[in-house]
């Protein structure tokens, strides 16, 4: 049974507030055998105080051993089984640049490439053309017109851009045109199913016009199309949980992910302090707040242990501002760990803290990677975190009589 069948039928409305503070990439590894992790090194008096009052556990983003990207990592936290609900590459790329996908849209990741005189690919990334040059070229493709289809072209970075088709009868099951090799011609877009036939035709026409427009470019004289994807069909927070939910994020990717589950994107925050101000200003208007903090991830990706420790301390420092609003349920977690040691997303259970008046506190008095593994929440799949949030907030009735 899908957990949302349960949450739909067990919804209880009340005035309780839930705050989920996501430190992207939270938690890590020792840099040397026997050393301390990022959380163990960081001075986090507020998290430790909350760990004493609350309960901690290790959130397994997908399944044991699976390191997720941002998409599945957040879907899990939002309570959407990341193995059931998948966000196609194109849709994630469009989401990541803040493009507001609508139902029925098909989004595609495109790479500028270089064709030789014979029309064979000589460079799959057009010499990694810099963004200053590639953006205007991408924008020049906006002149492409295809009957019955609205076409959007959005620059991303260097050789990358995004195309979105909007119109009737479009589906995302189309093969990549990138042959993943040089010295061969780009492939034609081929539909994998009948319903995506029209998308393949539209893509083919787009490529025909693009070839004409780009033909005189020295490097970016053509492009490939990859990761065709329809907008994922995710039920909304309002529908599955009965929650008025808001997202307070700085980066477009996380605003986009929140938008996919029907959260309102509020404020124009650029810093944690801004985010706290947005939270306070909107406190009365929502039941659930998702607050996203990026820098525990980006410093981990950089392999910069000290910077990640500092960013973790910055996250700790703003907690009193959230507590001052007296949320009934306060959760601190991450969509995955990004250990500086690995310089990448990891599969380790993510230290997760939950505080409420009925959370059944565990004996731990500090918040850390190792304590979380033996905390009162034990290790659990991230997709269950929302159930715990709802029940601790009194927003879910009992199952069965």
- Which residues bind to a second copy, rule: CB under 8 A? 1, 3, 6, 29-30, 33-34, 37, 53, 58, 62-73, 82-84, 86-87, 89, 92-93, 339, 341-342, 344-349, 357-358, 360-363, 369-370, 373-380, 384, 386-392, 396-401
Nearer to a second copy, 52 or 140 (CB): 52
Task: For 106-140, give one letter per residue: b (16+ CB within 10 A) or e.
Answer: bbbbbbbbbbeeeeebbbbbbbebeeebbbebbee
Closest separation between CB of residue 348 and a second copy, Å? 5
CB of 115 to a second copy, least distance (A): 27
Least gap, CB of 369 to a second copy (angstroms)? 6
Q: What are phi and psi of 163, to 5 degrees?
A: -120, 135
Cα–Cα distance for residue pair 100/235, rounded to 1 Å? 16
The least CB distance from residue 271 to a second copy, in Å, is: 26
C-beta closer to a second copy: residue 209 or 370: 370
| Strands (DSSP E) found in 32-118 | 55-60, 106-115
3-class DSSP state for residue 238? helix
Nearest to 240 by CA among 221, 260, 223, 255: 260
| Residue closer to a second copy (CB basis): 115 or 334 | 334
In the complex with a second copy, the residue whose CB is nearer, 192 or 204, is 192
H or E stretch including 390?
A: helix 385-392
Choose between 209 and 304: whose C-beta lies nearer to a second copy. Answer: 304
Q: What are phi and psi of 106, to 5 degrees?
A: -120, 125
Q: Residue 92 or 151: which CB sits closer to a second copy?
A: 92
Closer Cβ to a second copy, 34 or 147, answer by number? 34
Best CA proximity match to 364, nearest among 60, 53, 41, 59: 53
In this structure, are residues 377 and 387 in contact, taking their beta carbons and an 8 Å threshold? Answer: no
- In whole angstroms, the minimum distance from the beta carbon of 205 to a second copy comes to 28
Query: What is the nearest approach in angstroms of a second copy to the Cβ of residue 146?
Result: 27
- The whole-angstrom separation of Cα 71 and Cα 62 is 11
Q: What are phi and psi of 313, to 5 degrees?
A: -65, -35
- Smallest distance from the beta carbon of 345 to a second copy, in angstroms? 5
Least CB distance to a second copy at residue 241 (A)? 12
Helix axes 70-77, 385-392, angle to 10 degrees: 30
Q: Is 104 left (phi over 0), alpha (psi -120 to 50) or beta?
A: left
- Please report, to the nearest 10 degrees, the dihedral formed by the alpha carbons of residues 154, 258, 39, 339 taken in order: -40
Contact 160, 138 (CB under 8 A): no
- Shortest Å distance, C-beta 167 to a second copy: 25
- Which CB, 85 or 112, lies closer to a second copy? 85
Q: Which of 235, 233, 209 is nearest to 223 (CA)?
A: 209
Burial letters 156-169, b for 16+ CB under 10 A, else e: bebbbbbbbbbbee
8 A C-beta contact, residue 202 and residue 170: yes
Min CB(62)–a second copy separation in Å: 6
Q: Give whichever of 58 and 202 is closer to a second copy, judged by the CB atom.
A: 58
Q: Is the CB of 60 or the CB of 276 nearer to a second copy?
A: 60
């Amino acid at each position: 049974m899908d957990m949302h069948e349960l949450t739909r039928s067990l919804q209880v409305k009340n005035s309780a507030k839930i705050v989920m503070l996501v430190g992207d990439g939270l938690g890590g590894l020792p840099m040397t055998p026997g050393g301390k992790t990022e959380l163990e090194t960081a001075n986090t008096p507020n998290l430790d105080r909350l760990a004493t009052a609350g309960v901690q556990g290790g959130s397994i983003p997908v399944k044991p051993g699976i390191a997720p990207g941002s998409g599945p990592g957040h879907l899990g936290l939002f309570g959407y089984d990341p193995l059931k609900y998948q966000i196609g590459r194109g849709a994630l790329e469009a989401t990541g640049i803040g493009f507001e996908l609508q139902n029925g849209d098909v989004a595609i990741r495109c790479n500028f490439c270089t064709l030789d005189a014979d029309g064979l690919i000589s460079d799959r990334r057009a010499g990694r053309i810099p963004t200053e040059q590639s953006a205007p070229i991408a924008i020049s493709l906006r002149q492409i017109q295809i009957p019955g289809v609205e076409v959007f072209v959005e620059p991303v970075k260097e050789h990358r851009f995004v195309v979105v088709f909007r119109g009737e009868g479009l589906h995302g099951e189309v093969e990549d045109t990138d042959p993943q090799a040089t010295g061969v011609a780009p492939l034609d877009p081929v539909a994998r199913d009948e319903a995506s036939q029209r998308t393949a035709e539209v893509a083919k026409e787009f490529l025909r016009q693009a070839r004409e427009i780009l033909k005189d470019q020295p490097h970016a004289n053509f492009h490939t199309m990859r990761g065709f994807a329809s907008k994922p069909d995710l039920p909304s927070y309002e529908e599955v949980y009965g929650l008025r939910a808001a997202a307070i994020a700085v980066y477009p990717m996380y605003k986009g992910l929140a938008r996919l589950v029907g959260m309102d994107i509020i404020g124009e925050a650029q810093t944690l302090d801004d985010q706290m101000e947005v939270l306070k200003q909107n406190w009365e208007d929502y039941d659930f707040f998702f607050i996203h903090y990026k820098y525990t991830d980006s410093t981990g990706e950089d392999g910069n242990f000290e910077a990640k420790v500092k960013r973790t301390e910055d996250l700790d420092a703003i907690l009193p501002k959230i507590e001052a609003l007296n949320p009934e349920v306060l959760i601190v977690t991450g969509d995955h760990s990004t250990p500086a040691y690995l310089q990448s997303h990891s599969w380790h259970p993510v230290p997760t803290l939950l505080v409420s008046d009925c959370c059944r506190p565990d004996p731990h008095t500090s918040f850390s990677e190792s304590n979380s593994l033996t905390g009162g929440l034990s290790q659990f799949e991230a997709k269950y975190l929302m159930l715990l949030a709802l029940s601790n907030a009194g927003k879910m009735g009992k199952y069965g009589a």
